[in-house]
Chains A and B, each alone.
Chain A
């Protein structure tokens, strides 16, 4: 499968990418690892006129600590996120989530900024960022704004990112030693989560339980009020709106959300 024709410009800097976005807006797409965008272009689900390649901009890659946050460059690849000593020590849930994305080849190419902007409700990193209470840094013509993960994800493949904005970095609170759990239910390796649950520090995020990564609010409130993991997990599917497909119907997804949330709250991974 071959994408429809497009123009290609390798961005010389983030600033250059922003200029091109200002000029071309909706007709342009930002390319980093290309592991969400290129498959869509091959299926002609996306037919941008211009690709702005930020994949080789060093200024957008890497992990640093800044005060209370880890600052993760948008083009940091999943394999590097998973291997980062800093991330493993101070946001271990995120390192673990990055290691669950796709397969090794995919993790060598895909980037955190790309995965978050693509906003697949079944994906690992959006769910992880919601569970960690992280946020994204969006740069646009009017300056930079920080948007929390809860507000960034708005719907099915829909985010707060505007056509003239670039996701430049991801901010994650530094919390070494905080217990966490992560559950991804799949039938085969390499698949999207049929249901996913990430839990850390009283926050619970769900994948594939609605049009975007959701908080399990009722379960979180029960936990905060002193409920046991099992009692809280029984409420994990409340307020969710899972879809149906060949893998699972709605009731089965709700069941999985409850089972996996209990395991995640017991700090299990799998």
Chain B
């Protein structure tokens, strides 16, 4: 067993884990955070996407021990006060989901994408989400949701600047 200490959604955690424990299993089974889904388990589908030090990663292909000392954010951490994160709100308003299984991963990949490219073109959104699969094939509204979230974030920022 190996001791890991990491920050998850702003809270410090310290646990003894087996080195082979995957980060997604740590989040779901040790911490009880079930937003990150296990879809393909082969780094393909992106349902388990979380932010590791602010960057989107697939937590089925990261060991919990590799996250030692790092900062993790899951979809649960986006709305600590209960008010939807702008990306979550945009997915809701644009019907950016059908069955919802891919949604936490799509949302986290989007948060990561908009941190890197705040005002993406549609092509950049599609390329930026190529690591996330939607088996309902609901990509059109997902792309619209991401573009709307980018717009909303830009408006928020300009409101802050003028205020």
Contact = CB atoms under 8 A, between A and B. Distances in A.
Interface stretch (B60-68, B71-79, B84-92): B60-68
Contacts of A7: 19
Contacts of B42: 39, 42
A31 B20 CA distance: 13
Contact of A105 (B20, B68, B109): B109
Given A35-B61, A39-B61, A190-B44, A6 B20 contact: yes
A45 B44 CA distance: 18
B38 to A, nearest CB: 10
A1 B49 CA distance: 17
Given A103-B131, A106-B43, A34 B65 contact: no
Interface residues of B, number: 32
B148 interface: no
B interface, over-half SS: mixed
A102 B131 contact: yes
Contacts of A3: 20
Contact of A79 (B52, B55, B127): B55
Interface in A192-219: none
Interface string B34-51: 000000011110100100
B22 interface: yes
B130 interface: yes
B142 interface: no
A104 interface: yes
Contact of A109 (B61, B68, B132): B61
Contacts of B58: 105-106, 109
A10 interface: yes
B118 interface: no
Interface residues of A, number: 30
A56 B46 CA distance: 23
Contacts of B43: 35, 39, 102, 105-106
Interface in B90-147: 109, 112-113, 127-128, 130-132
A35 B44 CA distance: 11
B56 A108 contact: yes
B149 interface: no
19 contacts: A3-B20, A6-B20, A8-B65, A34-B61, A34-B63, A34-B66, A35-B43, A79-B55, A103-B46, A103-B132, A104-B56, A104-B109, A104-B128, A104-B131, A105-B46, A105-B56, A109-B57, A189-B130, A190-B44
Top 10 A-B residue pairs of the complex, sorted by shortest distance between their CB atoms: A103-B131, A8-B19, A189-B130, A108-B55, A105-B131, A3-B20, A105-B58, A103-B130, A105-B56, A38-B61
